[in-house]
Amino acid sequence: MNKRFQYGVDHLTIAIALGIANGQIQGYLGLESIQKIQTSAAAVNQIVQEGRTVYGVNTGFGILANTSISEEDTRTLQYKILQSHSVGVGNPIAPEIAKLMLITKVHALAKGFSGVQLSTLERLCWMIDNDIIPIVPEKGSVGASGDLAPLSHLCLPLIGLGELTVRGKRRAAADVLIEYDLEPVQLGPKEGLALINGTQFILAHAVKAVERFQNCLDAADIIGAMSLESLTGTKAPFESALHELRPFAGNQYVAHRLRLLLKDSEIMDSHIDCGRVQDPYSLRCMPQVHGASRNAWLHLKELTETELNSVTDNPIVLDANHTISGGNFHGQPLALPLDYNCFAAAEIGNISDRRCYLLLEGKWGLPMLLMNNVGLNSGFMIPQYTTAALVTENKTLCFPACADSIPTSLGQEDHVSMGSISGRKLNQVIDNLETILAIELMSACQAIEFRRPLKSSPVLEFAHDHVREYVSFASEDRIFARDIERINELIRNQSFVKEVHRFADSRGVSMTEGFPSFNM
């Protein structure tokens, strides 16, 4: 592990956050970050010693902001806030997302505006470095006042409460601390509030969604090109001159990729004078539809990276004489783009399903249902039922969570973002999208073999052959669920896109050049 990242000082990107989470990058607290942390903690201690009233330091929380807390009770207050706010329900989130919560929380607190102790951050770093990850329930945050419930569960192990995942096993935090000869952290003034105020639950889901959705967008271009080849569609709608007249960056990028994917195709050259005037929209309009989703993804990526380097605590401690109680914890800046990226991801699944349907119609030289002996065999008819079902399920997940605010804290917190739900929903839509794309890829690989002996472009032939290492041509019915799952895993683990891009690079065809904003 050669790469290092200094929390609170260096610029955190999505790629770096994921790199720390998977162990490829080492996050650490350097001298500069330690100085910031200690200066901020000293400022909070000074406030307490001077007896000045500051929200969250020596007052209650939320509707109890006007309730004063004595100096001797300020530490107890921080302990109790972790207990009282640990009200999450539902299944635990994935350990990787919980780890991303830890990483993003450390980075935000290490900027030195939250008044936390160095020892508290060192314990969080120890959890990250040793892959000892808190159990965090998936439901309970309204995405304002911070992701209070999930962050409380995330930080309970600091004080010896809650549960942790250690080497794949779920264990009580108290037992883990004993095993490693560690004492619970003694929280100082304001620390409990600093730990649970913030958007790290929303943010961790956004980080993962940006990575996963980019993979799906890349896969959709490749798979869509394969379907186009199978259906003997034209590449004319992808010409650069057309897209210069409507220069949306996403549209131009997708058209550029499609031109590269279809270059030197025997199949494409075989029907230049076929007389077909136009292709259906799901083939012809890939740059416009895939491109619009690319634009939405790009906006989410940019806003996520802004949030990755933001302070979302409350109150903010600028110095001992200047604290600000504001609303940086409010999740709306991410809730909105997360919600409309649900639409963007759902639309990629929608157009993919339409291409699956086209492949089954028995037109343009393909056998109906992509099999020669149908009647006795149902062919690829039923896999498209699955894409139709998943597309519809995604539509039901497209209601924007951020459009529905419910007041909490007896009206003190009267507008909340619900961005935690937005983040979870987007990842659910992407789950379904990965399967839809896997079914289109399975169908396109089947269809393209009916064009033999003609070959597609070298890049698309490689994509086809790569899939054939896992799933064979179907001459009769079989349990297609097994094929779908094998191909789905290629999409899900990103190996399909990575291998196709790697092959293209080896032939001097870069699938990611020219539009650096769309790379991570």
What are the residue numbers of the active site? 55
**Three-class SS string for 202-264?**
HHHHHHHHHHHHHHHHHHHHHHHHHHHHHCCCCCHHHCHHHHHCCCCHHHHHHHHHHHHHHCC
Give 362-369's long-range contacts (Cβ < 8 A, gap of 24+): 363/231, 364/231, 364/232, 364/276, 365/232, 365/450, 365/451, 366/230, 366/231, 366/447, 366/450, 367/450
Classified as helix, coil or strand, 4 is strand
Q: Which residue from 444, 346, 489, 421 is spatially nearest to 141, judged by alpha carbons?
A: 421
Q: Scan for tokens 């009200």, then name that residue.
A: 87
Alpha helices in 285-380 (DSSP H): 286-308, 332-360
CA distance linking residue 259 with residue 412, whole number of Å = 55
What region does 364 belong to: left with phi over 0, alpha with psi -120 to 50, or beta? left
b/e code 47-71 from CB counts within 10 Å (16+ = b): bbeeeeebbbbbbebeeeeeeebee
**122 exposed, middle or buried (CB, 10 Å; 0-12, 13-18, 19+)?**
middle
**Residue-level length of the chain:** 520
Query: In degrees rounded to 5, what are phi and psi of residue 13?
Result: -110, 170
Residue 125 · residue 119 · CB < 8 Å: no
- The token pair at 470 is 């896992």
- The token pair at 498 is 């990575």
Q: Per-residue DSSP letters for 161-197? A: -SEEEETTEEEEHHHHHHHTT-PPP---TTHHHHHHS
CA distance linking residue 224 with residue 286, whole number of Å = 8
- How far lies 92's CA from each of 170, 354, 361, 427, 482, in Å? 11, 35, 43, 15, 27
Residue 292 · residue 347 · CB < 8 Å: yes
Classified as helix, coil or strand, 282 is helix
- The token pair at 161 is 């409460």
Angle between helices 148-155 and 200-230 (to 10 degrees): 110
